[in-house]
């Protein structure tokens, strides 16, 4: 079996790439070659920019694939390009959408693939919805063999999954914990959230690859474990060996007083309770089961981050922002 991944070295795709090579797939990764240290031994790299459509077309002219998956398509124009490039050259095209595309606010906290798609708070999610609509239309008109995958919050061993962090990643929040500084948790911390380790995501994804029953379908791939944000932050602090010093601040307050896109990432996503029904995935991939509990995954993640200084990216601007927001919030409470 032969697959082409556009990207293939990101948080989600690295675990899938490694799994496929172990399973004996002939794997091509089409990317700019910026993360060669994450390319599994045995994969073949086509070094180019996917946005150079004519150049890509020339490079793959004599190639065809059982599966093409695009991990870096975010807007309809990129999907339109993929349709032009891969029509007639693949038996299955997998588009990585997002569970943030589901309606906000939710009419039912239990999310299935039939939950409506509508997110007025986040342009990222609306663009994913538009990509899905374009692909399904193409499937209906021409038979373009699309499978849509909707991941939720998937993490690996390099970046700590959190609700509130700056543009330079999440290390600064862990650093605040280690320094016993107050850490912001959005809302009251009791909404439920789902975190999925990328090795578990890879099990579901590889099971959909080459699966004729998945063509024309949209499928959630998440863990069945649900945790409150309070539990998530407590687990992280415990794994760091420190006591959590939490300050709960309204998601709407954070969105209003910040240049960070908390309207999209919180109001349009993480501030909502989400519990996913993975029944469809389990029908399509018999035996699928997410096995990495968050407390296990976070310990391995933190061991890796703490032993690799290059993953500890300081964010002094976000640190100052946290201090200012917390101080202003506490002062406003005192005035009541």
Tell me if residue 31 falls in helix, strand or coil.
strand
Rounded CA-CA distance 169/303 in Å is: 17
Percent helix, percent strand, percent coil in the chain, to nearest 5: 45, 20, 40
Mean model confidence pLDDT for the chain: 96
CA distance 254 to 258: 6
Q: Which residues contact 31 (CB under 8 A, 6 or more apart)?
A: 6, 7, 8, 9, 45, 46, 47, 50
- Give the whole-angstrom CA distance, residue 1 versus residue 92: 12
Environment class of 91 (CB within 10 Å of its CB; exposed 0-12, middle 13-18, buried 19+): middle
Spatial neighbors of 5 by CB under 8 A, at least 6 apart, are: 13, 16, 17, 27, 28, 29, 30, 68, 69, 71
Which sign does the torsion angle of CA 201, 206, 207, 212 carry?
positive
CATH code for the structural domain at 2-154+196-221: 3.40.50.720
Closest CA relative to residue 162, chosen from 92, 85, 266: 266
260 falls in which pLDDT band (50, 70, 90)? confident
| Average pLDDT, integer, range 264-290 | 96
Which CATH architecture best describes the domain 158-192+227-274+295-334?
Alpha-Beta Complex (3.90)
- Residue 227: its pLDDT value, please? 98
pLDDT at residue 12, as a whole number: 95
- End-to-end CA distance of the chain, in Å? 66
Q: Give pLDDT tens digits for 152-187.
A: 999 999 999 999 999 999 999 999 999 999 999 999
Query: pLDDT tens for residues 302-335?
Result: 999 999 999 999 999 999 999 999 999 988 887 7
40-93 tens-digit pLDDT: 999 999 999 999 999 999 999 999 999 999 999 999 999 999 999 999 999 999
Between the alpha carbon of residue 104 and those of residues 117, 121, 122, 267, 325, the distances in Å are 8, 8, 10, 8, 26
What pTM does this model have?
0.95
Residue pLDDT, tens place only, 186-220: 999 999 999 999 999 999 999 999 999 999 999 99
Give residue limits of the domains in the chain: 2-154+196-221, 158-192+227-274+295-334
Alpha-carbon distance 268 to 272, whole Å? 8
Confidence at residue 336, expressed as pLDDT on a 0 to 100 scale: 66
Confirm if 247 and 329 have CB atoms less than 8 A apart: yes
Angle of CA points 97, 98, 102, to nearest 5°: 120
Q: How far is CA 168 from CA 51, 178, 234, 317, in A?
A: 25, 18, 22, 9
């Amino acid at each position: 079996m032969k697959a082409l991944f556009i990207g293939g070295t990101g948080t989600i795709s690295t675990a899938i790439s490694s799994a496929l090579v172990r399973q004996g797939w002939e794997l091509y990764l089409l990317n700019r070659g910026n993360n060669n240290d994450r390319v599994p031994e045995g994969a073949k790299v086509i070094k180019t920019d996917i946005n150079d459509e004519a150049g890509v077309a020339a490079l793959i002219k004599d190639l065809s694939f059982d599966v093409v998956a695009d991990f870096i398509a975010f807007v309809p124009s990129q999907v339109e390009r993929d349709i032009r490039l891969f029509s007639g050259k693949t038996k299955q095209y997998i588009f990585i959408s997002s569970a943030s595309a589901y309606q906000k606010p939710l009419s039912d906290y239990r999310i299935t693939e039939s939950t409506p798609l509508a997110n007025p708070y986040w342009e990222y999610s609306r663009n994913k919805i538009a990509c899905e609509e374009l692909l399904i239309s193409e499937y209906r008109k021409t038979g373009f063999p699309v499978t849509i995958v909707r991941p939720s919050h998937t993490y690996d061993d390099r970046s700590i999954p959190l609700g509130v962090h700056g543009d330079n990643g999440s290390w600064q929040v862990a650093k605040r914990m280690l320094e016993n500084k107050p850490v912001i948790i959005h809302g009251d911390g009791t909404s439920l959230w789902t975190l999925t380790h990328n090795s578990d995501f890879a099990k579901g994804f590889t099971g959909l690859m080459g699966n004729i029953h998945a063509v024309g379908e949209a499928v959630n791939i998440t863990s069945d474990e649900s945790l409150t944000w309070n539990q998530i932050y407590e687990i992280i602090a415990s794994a760091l060996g420190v006591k959590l010093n939490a300050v709960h601040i309204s998601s709407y307050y954070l969105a209003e007083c910040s240049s960070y896109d908390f309207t999209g990432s919180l109001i349009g996503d993480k501030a909502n309770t989400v519990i996913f029904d993975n029944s469809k995935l389990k029908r399509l991939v018999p035996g699928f089961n997410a096995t990495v509990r968050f407390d296990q995954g976070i310990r391995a993640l933190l061991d890796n981050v703490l032993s690799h200084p290059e993953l500890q990216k300081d964010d002094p601007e976000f640190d100052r922002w946290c201090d200012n927001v917390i101080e202003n919030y506490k002062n406003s409470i005192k005035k009541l």
